[in-house]
């Protein structure tokens, strides 16, 4: 059992990465990994030649079950749902010190993944992100390899049509800084010039009583987004640039507690998407690494 536990710990980071991309939730990813350990500890794997592959399959099946069970529960709030960041760090690096994690995955991509059917999401994550063969994907989803390929292809078309960050990190940092400066100063024109005309703002304040006066919402268009940004200008003095999953964004911290996290999608020098997590229950588990 000790040897099995050591082998599992060697795979924990990989399994957590798979589960996080499948679920977009830190807590659910940890639960899925823990469930994989419980199943491993109860199984005879003496004949398993590839334990890493066996564990990946188990975690994937656990995640698929979770995705299927929560799909109906999220339908009403899907427009404003923002996934959890897995990494939140103060962005104190110089632009030339590109501090992008090797396994970084932006919140904008996770938002798109939330719109996929569970089997499509699993096929895309396992094949396109982790390089599993379609034979392996087919075993998890219970379909033929050809069907698994089709699932990944449909997911890929949806993902490729979504906004994505481009340009170098120093340019992204400059645009985030300009956005924060304009917000602090209540500079309507300064904000407007930074936004793509069709920009989307997605704010997730959760649905519990602890969400307080904040409201989840989906806002489209530069003028409407600027109006929302100026409404939150009172929190601007508490907002600083941060690395969210390795990508420049911002975090608002009041009295040591994270109040909101904002992820930017910047395309051709314009902000095309803003994803704001303001759910107090989920933010309570976040700290800013310095």
Spell out the per-residue pLDDT of the chain, length 290, in tens.
788 889 999 999 999 999 999 998 889 999 999 999 999 988 888 888 899 999 999 999 999 999 988 765 555 566 788 988 988 888 765 444 444 443 467 888 888 898 899 999 999 999 999 999 999 999 999 999 999 999 999 999 988 877 777 777 888 889 999 999 998 888 999 999 999 999 999 999 987 554 444 678 899 999 999 988 877 778 888 999 999 988 889 999 998 899 999 999 999 899 999 999 999 999 988 888 87
Q: Give 235's contacts (C-beta < 8 A, 6+ positions apart).
A: 252, 254, 259, 260
Strand order in the sheet with 217-220: 88-90, 239-244, 247-254, 257-267, 270-277, 195-204, 217-220
Angle at 188 between CA 206 and CA 183, to 5 degrees: 50
A 10 A CB-CB count for 21 gives 24
pTM score:
0.82
> By C-alpha distance, which of 18, 167, 21, 159 is closest to 85?
21
What span, in angstroms and rounded, lies between the C-alpha atoms of 161 and 40?
39
């Amino acid at each position: 059992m000790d040897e099995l536990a050591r082998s599992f710990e060697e795979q924990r980071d990989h399994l957590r990465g798979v589960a996080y991309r499948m679920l977009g939730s830190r807590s659910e990813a940890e639960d899925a990994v823990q469930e994989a350990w419980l199943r491993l500890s109860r199984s005879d794997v003496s004949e398993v030649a590839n334990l890493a592959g066996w564990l990946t399959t188990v975690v994937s099946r656990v995640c698929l079950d979770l995705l299927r069970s929560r799909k109906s529960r999220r339908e009403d709030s899907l427009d404003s749902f923002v996934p959890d960041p897995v990494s939140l760090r103060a962005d104190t690096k110089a632009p030339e010190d590109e501090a992008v994690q090797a396994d970084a995955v932006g919140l904008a991509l996770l938002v798109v993944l939330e719109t996929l059917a569970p089997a499509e999401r699993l096929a895309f994550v396992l094949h396109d992100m982790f390089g599993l063969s379609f034979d392996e994907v087919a075993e998890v989803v219970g379909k033929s390899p050809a069907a698994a390929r089709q699932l990944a292809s449909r997911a890929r078309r949806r993902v490729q049509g979504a906004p994505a960050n481009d340009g170098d990190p120093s340019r992204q940092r400059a645009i985030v800084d300009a956005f924060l400066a304009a917000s602090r100063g209540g500079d309507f024109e300064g904000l407007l010039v930074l936004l793509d005309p069709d920009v989307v703002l997605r704010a997730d304040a959760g649905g519990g009583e602890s969400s307080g006066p904040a409201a989840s919402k989906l806002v489209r268009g530069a003028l409407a987004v600027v109006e929302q940004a100026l409404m939150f200008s009172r929190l601007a003095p508490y907002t600083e640039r941060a690395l969210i999953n390795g990508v420049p964004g911002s975090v608002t911290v009041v009295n040591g507690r994270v109040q909101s996290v904002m992820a930017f999608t910047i395309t051709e020098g314009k902000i095309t998407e803003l994803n704001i997590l303001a759910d107090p229950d989920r933010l309570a588990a976040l700290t800013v690494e310095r």
